[in-house]
Amino acid sequence: MVLAAVLIVVAPFTRAQDSPPSEYQLKAAFLFSFAKFVDWPPRSFASQQSPFAICILGADPFGTAIDDTLRGKTIGEHPVVIERVKEPSNVRHCQILFISSAEKHRLAEILMALQGANILIVGESEHFADSGGTIELMLEQNHIRFAINTDAAESSGLRISSKLLALAKVVHNPAETGKN
């Protein structure tokens, strides 16, 4: 189901280019698809008219791929906007935060600063989900796979659909021994 949603997002873009989508076009489509399978508490939006903010923290590996792929898209009644930010203190309004792998050295600090925020925190660094991030995107044998840390989602007040969980490797916070 998530794969179908990714293909729907990427298909018009690839037809226009006549080439396969890049890794980051696919990752952008995954971010959009994740949004359809996660429930955010109403307080995560300033108002009913607020945009659905996908923020990128640190070096931007997407370039224009995320803007091009998600231009004109909506999540519910919220138009999707893409923002690039440098500091975790500037992301509390975001619904999805993509943490660049360039931020791996300060991942623990970033996750600590965002504790309790209603943000789906996604990254691509190795062991990202095991370290407390919500979703880790991985490239395995030329396919994008993902791991979901259900403890991180729960502590952020997010509910992830069982349909999405069925497609993921489910992990837990390190303190939650015996659940991996």
pTM comes to 0.87
Measured in degrees and rounded to the nearest 5, phi and psi for residue 98 equal -100, 120
Residue 71 has pLDDT above 90, yes or no: yes
Q: What is the mean pLDDT of residues 126-152?
A: 95
**Rounded Cα–Cα distance for residues 166 and 68 (Å):** 29
Domains of the chain: 2-171 (3.40.50)
Strand partners for 145: 138
pLDDT of residue 52: 97
Rounded to 5°, the CA angle 102-161-72 comes to 65
Residue 178 has pLDDT above 70, yes or no: no
Residue 103 has pLDDT above 90, yes or no: yes
